[in-house]
Structure 1
Amino acid sequence: MQPDKKLFTFEEIKQKLVNYCVYQDRCHYEVEQKMREFVLIPEAKEEILLYLMEENYLNEERFTRSYIRGKFYIKSWGKTKIKMNLKQKSITEKLISTCFDEIDENDYLKIINKLYENYDSKLKGLNNYQRKSKNIKYLLSRGFEYESILRIIEN
């Protein structure tokens, strides 16, 4: 047995995972990662996952929607970066696409514009080409699409 694994009863582990899911929306991937901290047989893992889903502690769509809202409205991430991070959490492409309606298109353009203006105001002593290039690189790194960036820069 590995010494770094904690020993708890099945019910204690189940309660810990319920608390883990209640604290913040989680996806299956995160819960499975958390389960690795405990000594569990595969049947027990399946039973806990099934329980969490039946009791609606674990809901992939709810997680995806809140993740998209949070990363966009709080962290100002673009759709590309959000999608990439959700894929790392094993969320399906189809679910990601359906949940992107959480982001209002006008808000999306406003955020790009705000980030553009903030970053552009910090750039001093550059010619127009260098300025535009740096702005595009910055906004791409924030996860925004090239077409959306160009729409803002051209206006």
Structure 2
Amino acid sequence: MEYYCAYQERCYKEVEEKLYSFSLNLAEKEAILTHLIEHNFINEERFAKSFVRGKHNYKFWGKNRIVNELKFRNISSRIITIALKEIPEETYLENFHLLSEKHWNSITERKGQKKNKKFVDFLLRKGYETHLIYEKLKELEK
């Protein structure tokens, strides 16, 4: 389990699910989890920061999607807030504009409601804020 945690950042929930697959008894699971936490193999804050950087820089996810994914992994809202500071605002907006312009140009529909809907839906799935999306849509429609 140490190797499993050292190979890639893991959150408590992921390690717990992995241990569940080994069909150990409760005492053994607790002992292993305690050992991993005490020896810093599991660190929720470190995991969250790494997750935020990776998902934004490589998958270009927006803050909404990142927050939802971290909540799904039972990360506390305090840690989520700290982790989101890993994305500088300028970088976030720059990535948003690059992604939105690239997607706008890749949509084969002519200008109109169908193209607008595809554009908005894509960016909502990526997790960007609605006010950013609609401001960019107005800018690109001109």
Q: Please, what TM-score do these two structures have when normalized by structure 1?
A: 0.82
Identity in percent: 36
Q: CA RMSD in A?
A: 1.6
1:101 aligns with 2:57: no
Write out per-residue CA displacement over residues 22-44 of structure 1, whole angstroms, 9 at most, x where no aligned residue. Answer: 00010000000010122322122
Q: Secondary structure at the match of 1:109?
A: helix
Taking the aligned partners of 1:25 and 1:107, their CA distance within structure 2 comes to 23
DSSP-derived class of the 1:139 partner: helix
**Which consecutive residues of structure 1, in runs of 5 or more, have no partner in the other structure?**
1-16
* Matched pairs, number: 139
Q: Which residue number corresponds to residue 29 of structure 2?
A: 45
Q: Which residue does the alignment assign to 1:61?
A: 45
1:123 CA drift (Å)? 2.5
Cα 1:140–1:57 change in 2 (3 A) is same
Match of 1:145 among 102, 122, 129: 129
What stretches of structure 2 of length at least 5 have no aligned partner? none
Displacement, 1:121?
1.0
How far residue 87 of structure 1 moved from its aligned partner, in angstroms, is 1.3
Q: Deviations over 1:90-149 (max 9, x none)?
A: 112221122100111111111111111111112345234443332212111111110122
Asked if structure 2 preserves the Cα contact closer than 8 Å seen for 1:112 and 1:152, the reply is: no
8 A Cα contact 2:109 2:115, kept in partner: no
Where do 1:1-155 residues align within 5 Å?
17-155=1-139
Tell whether the 8 Å contact from 1:140 to 1:146 is kept in structure 2 after alignment: yes
Counterparts of 2:115 and 2:37, CA distance in 1: 50
> 1: CA distance between counterparts of 2:22 and 2:122?
41
Q: Contact conserved, 1:109 with 1:152, CA < 8 A, in 2? A: no
Q: For residues 26-76 of structure 1, what are the alpha-carbon distances to aligned partners after superposition, in whole Å with 9 as ceiling and x for unaligned?
A: 000000001012232212211111111111111000000001111000111
In structure 2, the partner of 1:7 is none
Cα distance between partner residues in 1 of 2:118 and 2:28: 52
Amino acid across the alignment from 2:19: M
Instruction: Provide the rounded CA distance (Å) in 1 between the counterparts of 2:18 and 2:76.
Output: 20
Question: Taking structure 1 as reference, are residues 127 and 54 closer, same or farther at Cα in structure 2, changes over 3 Å only?
Answer: same
Distance change (3 Å), C-alpha of 1:120 and 1:55:
same
Asked which structure has the greater CA Rg, the reply is 1
Which amino acid letter does the alignment assign opposite residue 137 of structure 2?
A: I
Letter in 2 for 1:127: K
